Amino acid sequence: MSELSSLSAGLQQDLKTQLEPIGVAYVNEPPAGVAHGAAGPASCSYWKRALDGEVFFTAADDHLSCPIGAHTHAAPMSSEKSAELMGMIGTMVQLGYLSMAEVPKIPQRKSPLRFAVYAPLSKMPVKPDLALVRGPPRS
């Protein structure tokens, strides 16, 4: 059993979830033999696809449909997309979802996004930068 398969199984057992964790890796070049996944409506849609068993990569432009996801992933954005982000954040503040004090604390990767690889953790073709796990609240 590979190291990632063992880690995946251990996380599932420890957290009492039937859902395999997914891995995400931020890379400078797409891995050989890995397909380019079609652009989705948001970065979180890529998590679902990996949860369903897909192994694929995305490019920075594939993340521009969701300004919040583009921001957190540090995908380079045009001035129009940046304005869309600010408008969305303004709406979130108006609705009480965020406070203005929280806005500077919205997480963002330090390095600009080039490519991201998504896959079930046990099938990651490269070393993951993070693993996302879904499980019951008591986990």
Q: Is the separation of the CB atoms in 109 and 71 below 8 Å?
A: no
**pLDDT tens profile 91-135:** 999 999 999 999 999 999 999 999 999 999 999 999 999 999 987
So what's the pLDDT on residue 134?
Answer: 85
Amino acid 63: pLDDT = 94
Tens digits of per-residue pLDDT, 3-32? 988 888 888 888 888 888 999 999 999 999
Cβ atoms of 120 and 8 closer than 8 Å:
yes
pLDDT number for residue 139: 67
Between strands 35-36 and 56-59, the pairing is: parallel
C-alpha gyration radius of the chain: 16
Taking the C-alpha atoms of residue 40 and residue 46, their distance in angstroms, rounded to an integer, is: 7
Q: Coil, helix or strand for 25? A: strand
**How many angstroms separate the CA atoms of 15 and 131, rounded?**
13
